[in-house]
C-alpha cells in the first residue's frame, strides 16, 4: 500500500511540474515573441492602415489575449528584472549590442530579457526541486538538479546567441550580392541613397535581412540623419565585421570624393575571396573532424568483424585443452 502511495505522490508531483513547465514555457514564448519586435513592425502598421476599411471590419477597439499578455509583461518586466539588471552601465550597453545584433531592438528588450531569464530560472528551480523530491538528496541528484536549473536559466542567452549567429551568417552570405547590385546601380547613374533603396527593393525575396537593414538606413536618411551616422549605426547594430568595414569604406569615399563604384567593387571582390577562403578552411578541417566518428563508431565495428571470429576460435581451443 505504501508503494502505491509513493508512486501516486510521485506522479502527482511530476504532473504538477509538467503543467507548470508547459504554462511557464508558454509565458516565455510570449516574452520572446514580444522581445523580437523590430523595425519591421512599422511596415506592418502601415500595411494595416492601408488595408483598413472600417473599424468594425478590422476589430478596432478590441485587443487579443496575446497582445494583452505582451503589454502586461512589458509593463511588469522593469520591476521583475530590476534585481537581475547589472549596475554597471557598460554591461548593459554590451547586452544591448548583443540584442541589437539579434534584431531585438525595442526599448523594453533589455528588461524583458532579464525577465525571461528570471522566468526560466524559476522553471529550472521548480523542475530541479521536483526531481530532488522524487529521487532523493544524493550527490548525483543534486548535481543533475543544479545542471538543469542552470540550463533553464541560460535558455534566453542561447536563444539570443543562436538568433544573432543566424542573422550574422545571413548578412555575411548576402552582402557580396548586395554590393554587386549596388555597383550596377551606382555605375548606371544613381546616387548612393537611391542605390541603397533600389537594393532594398530588389533583394526582399533573396536576402531579407540585407534588404531590411538597407531599408532602415533609407528611413533614417529620410528622417534627417547624416549619412555618416547612418552608416556607422549600420555596422554597429549588426556586429558583422564586413558590414563595419563597408560602412567605413563608404564614409571615407564620401569624405574624399573618390569613386564609389570602384570602392564597392573592390570591397565585393574582397568579401568573395574571404568567403572562398572560409570554405577552403572548412574543407581542410573535414579530414581531421572525421577522425573522431571513425575511431569511436567505425573502427570498433571493423575490429569486431575482422578479429572476432579468430578470437572466438582461440577461446574455444583453450577451453577444449
What's the pLDDT score for residue 292? 85
In the chain, CATH 1.20.81 sits at 166-286
Q: Is the pTM of this model over 0.85?
A: no
- Looking at the chain, the number of H-run helices and the number of E-run strands are 14, 0
User: CATH topology for 166-286?
Assistant: Receptor-associated Protein (1.20.81)
Please tell me the predicted confidence (pLDDT) of residue 132: 78
Per-residue pLDDT, 2:
45
**Alpha-carbon span 275 to 279, nearest angstrom:** 6
Q: According to the model, what pLDDT value does residue 68 have?
A: 63
For helices 89-101 and 155-187, angle between their N-to-C axes, nearest 10 degrees: 60
Say what the pLDDT of residue 80 is: 59
Give the model's pLDDT for residue 46. 52
pLDDT at 50: 53
Query: In terms of DSSP H, where are the helices of 136-240?
Result: 139-153, 155-187, 192-202, 208-222, 227-238
pLDDT in tens, 28-39: 555 555 544 444
pLDDT for the residue 39: 42
CA-to-CA distance for 99 and 113, rounded, in angstroms? 9
The pLDDT assigned to 37 comes to: 47
* Residue stretches of the chain with pLDDT short of 50: 1-13, 15, 35-40, 53-62
Residue 70 has a pLDDT of 59
Q: What pLDDT score does 55 carry? A: 37
Amino acid at each position: 500500500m505504501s508503494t502505491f502511495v509513493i508512486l501516486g505522490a510521485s506522479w502527482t508531483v511530476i504532473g504538477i511540474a509538467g503543467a507548470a513547465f508547459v504554462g511557464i514555457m508558454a509565458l516565455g514564448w510570449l516574452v520572446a515573441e514580444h522581445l523580437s519586435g523590430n523595425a519591421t513592425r512599422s511596415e506592418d502598421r502601415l500595411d494595416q492602415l492601408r488595408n483598413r476599411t472600417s473599424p468594425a471590419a478590422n476589430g478596432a477597439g478590441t485587443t487579443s489575449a496575446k497582445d494583452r499578455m505582451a503589454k502586461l509583461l512589458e509593463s511588469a518586466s522593469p520591476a521583475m528584472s530590476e534585481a537581475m539588471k547589472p549596475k554597471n552601465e557598460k554591461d548593459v550597453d554590451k547586452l544591448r549590442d548583443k540584442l541589437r545584433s539579434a534584431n531585438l531592438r525595442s526599448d523594453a528588450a533589455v528588461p524583458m530579457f532579464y525577465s525571461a531569464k528570471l522566468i526560466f530560472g524559476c522553471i529550472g528551480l521548480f523542475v530541479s526541486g521536483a526531481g530532488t523530491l522524487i529521487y532523493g538528496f544524493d550527490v548525483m541528484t543534486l548535481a543533475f538538479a543544479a545542471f538543469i536549473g542552470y540550463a533553464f536559466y541560460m535558455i534566453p542567452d542561447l536563444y539570443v546567441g543562436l538568433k544573432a549567429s543566424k542573422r550574422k551568417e545571413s548578412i555575411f552570405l548576402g552582402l557580396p550580392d548586395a554590393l554587386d547590385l549596388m555597383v550596377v546601380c551606382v555605375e548606371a547613374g544613381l546616387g548612393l541613397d537611391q542605390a541603397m533603396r533600389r537594393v532594398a527593393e530588389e533583394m526582399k525575396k533573396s536576402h531579407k535581412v540585407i534588404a531590411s537593414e538597407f531599408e532602415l538606413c533609407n528611413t533614417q536618411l529620410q528622417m534627417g540623419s547624416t549619412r555618416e551616422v547612418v552608416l556607422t549605426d549600420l555596422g554597429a547594430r549588426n556586429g558583422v565585421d564586413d558590414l563595419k568595414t563597408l560602412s567605413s569604406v563608404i564614409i571615407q569615399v564620401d569624405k574624399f570624393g573618390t569613386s564609389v563604384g570602384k570602392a564597392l567593387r573592390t570591397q565585393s571582390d574582397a568579401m568573395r575571396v574571404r568567403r572562398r577562403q572560409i570554405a577552403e578552411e572548412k574543407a581542410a578541417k573535414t579530414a581531421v573532424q572525421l577522425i573522431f566518428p571513425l575511431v569511436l563508431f567505425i573502427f570498433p565495428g571493423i575490429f569486431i568483424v575482422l578479429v572476432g571470429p579468430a578470437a572466438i576460435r582461440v577461446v574455444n581451443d583453450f577451453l577444449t585443452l
